[in-house]
Amino acid sequence: MSYIIQVLILLLAANGAPIMLNWLIGKRWAYPIDNGLKLTDGYRLFGDSKTWRGILSALCATTGLAVAFNIGLLTGLWFGILAMAGDLLASFSKRRLGYGESSQVRGFDTVPESLLPLLILKATLTLSAIDILLIVGIFFLFEEFVSPILYRWHIRKKPY
């Protein structure tokens, strides 16, 4: 069970590090990954909230925690990369579906960024299918209940 908690903490760190860094230092060094690129549908590739600084903060957080948990440096780095890839995939898909930047689509915001690293690193993290479902479910519920609190504390910009 403690291993599941550690993996859940890695997910929370990947998701939370960019938010916390933005809260701490504002927009300083927040360069959008897509550099403002709009596709033929008229929407941005990702949007202003997906930044290089956010990606780097997530990678540092997951790598550092993975080392602290004795999971391994490379596993932590890959975990962060895959979580952020899932986050970017969700953002890209939401733009293509016509959703505005930072809009919430229940499940769509949490499932790709949690499922991608868990599925790809399943063997490395010794996770079963039940473990993966449990972690994704807990991560989803955590986001649903904690995001409004972070909004009230002025850490998050939107209450989702």
DSSP states along 89-140: HHHHHHHHTTPPTT---TTTTTHHHHHHHHHHTTTTTT--HHHHHHHHHHHH
- With contact defined as beta carbons under 8 Å apart, do 113 and 87 qualify? yes
Containing 79, the helix (H) or strand (E) segment is helix 73-96
Residue ranges per domain, the chain? 2-27+38-152
Q: What is this structure's pTM?
A: 0.88
Query: What is the per-residue pLDDT for 125?
Result: 95
Query: What is the per-residue pLDDT for 129?
Result: 96
Query: What is the per-residue pLDDT for 1?
Result: 60
Query: What is the per-residue pLDDT for 14?
Result: 96
Query: What is the per-residue pLDDT for 33?
Result: 94
Coil, strand or helix at 32: strand
The whole-angstrom separation of Cα 154 and Cα 158 is: 9
Tens digit of pLDDT per residue, the chain (160 long)?
Answer: 688 999 999 999 999 999 889 888 888 898 999 998 999 988 889 888 899 999 999 999 999 999 999 999 999 999 999 999 999 999 898 888 877 666 666 667 788 999 999 999 999 999 999 999 999 999 988 888 877 787 777 766 666 6
